[in-house]
């Protein structure tokens, strides 16, 4: 019991910087949610149940464009697919006798940052460490979205529009560093921009919703990249 308590406290300690970062990022998501017609409470609940920046932005964008339920569900699955791989890797970090309930609770919030600190724990991962990080990170994300919507409802329209650009800055911060290091990633990013632009202008696709176009382009480009440019694991790279 004492070991669990210590791990929980350590998780809170390591999760506090993540929570602060989440609050700032989620604030801009709240602006996007407000523009899509979400109330502050609705946006916060959405963030508490879908703690993923790309996945949430996809949801808010699709809702704003009038997409249907299936389009939103599929795009959220595609945008969050990387967490399936993270969960698989993290499951190997847990002790073999870890109950299914603990595995499911840990999987609830396998974000990039929480995965990073959890996988870096020396030895086996005690689920209570991840619970500690989640205990501060999830409220930080939810409250950031809540206050983003609340601020969007009281701030001038021009300022809200300016703040909404911050989310694009976040995504640029995600794609620019790896694109600078890897020419393949850079080419794929540019190809995605071009394909998205052409799909929005192509008359034959005029009847297709933007949500479906985004889903198809994401799957096709990602699949082609995985087949043509597979990423080698550490053992293969060392050979």
In contact, 161 and 41? CB cutoff 8 Å: no
Q: Where are the domains of the chain?
A: 2-167, 182-239
Q: Which two tokens stand for residue 156?
A: 């001038």
Q: What pLDDT does 235 receive?
A: 46
In contact, 69 and 44? CB cutoff 8 Å: no
In contact, 226 and 81? CB cutoff 8 Å: no
Q: What pLDDT does 133 receive?
A: 92
How many CA atoms does the CB half-sphere of 187 hold within 13 Å?
7
Q: What pLDDT does 231 receive?
A: 63
Q: What pLDDT does 130 receive?
A: 93
Q: What pLDDT does 10 receive?
A: 92
SS (H, E, C) the chain: CHHHHHHHHHHHHHHHHHHHHHHHHHHHHHHHHHHCCCCHHHHHHHHHHCCCHHHHHHHHHHHHCCCCHHHHHHHHHHHCCHHHHHHHHHHCCECCCCCHHHHHHHHCCCCHHHHHHHHCCCCCECHHHHHHHHHHHHHHHHHHHHHHHHHHHHCCHHHHHHHHHHHHHHHHHHHHHHHHHCHHHHHHHHHHHHHHHHHHHCHHHCCCCHHHHHHHHHHHHHHHHHHHCCCCCHHHHHC
Q: What pLDDT does 143 receive?
A: 92
Distance between CA atoms of residues 21 and 173, nearest Å:
14
Q: Which two tokens stand for residue 151?
A: 């601020």
The series of mean pLDDT values per 10 residues for the chain, 239 residues long, is 83 88 82 87 89 81 82 80 80 89 90 83 90 92 90 66 56 71 85 84 72 72 81 52
pTM of the model: 0.66
């Amino acid at each position: 019991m004492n070991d669990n308590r210590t791990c929980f406290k350590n998780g809170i300690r390591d999760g506090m910087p993540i929570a602060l970062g989440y609050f700032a990022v989620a604030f801009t998501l709240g602006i996007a949610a407000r523009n899509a017609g979400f109330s502050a409470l609705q946006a916060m609940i959405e963030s508490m149940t879908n703690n993923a920046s790309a996945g949430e932005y996809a949801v808010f964008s699709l809702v704003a464009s009038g997409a249907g339920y299936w389009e939103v569900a599929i795009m959220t699955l595609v945008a969050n697919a990387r967490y399936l791989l993270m969960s698989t890797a993290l499951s190997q970090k847990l002790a073999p006798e870890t109950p299914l309930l603990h595995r499911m609770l840990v999987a609830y919030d396998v974000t990039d940052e929480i995965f990073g600190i959890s996988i870096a724990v020396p030895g086996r991962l005690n689920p209570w460490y991840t619970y500690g990080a989640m205990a501060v990170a999830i409220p930080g994300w939810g409250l950031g979205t809540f206050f983003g919507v609340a601020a969007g409802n009281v701030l001038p329209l021009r300022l809200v529009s300016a703040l909404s650009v911050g989310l694009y800055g976040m995504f640029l911060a995600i794609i620019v560093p790896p694109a600078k290091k890897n020419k393949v990633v850079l080419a794929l990013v540019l190809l995605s921009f071009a394909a998205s632009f052409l799909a929005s202008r192509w008359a034959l696709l005029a009847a297709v919703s933007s949500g479906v176009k985004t889903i198809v382009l994401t799957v096709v480009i990602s699949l082609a990249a995985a087949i043509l440019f597979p990423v080698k694991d550490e053992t293969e790279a060392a050979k």
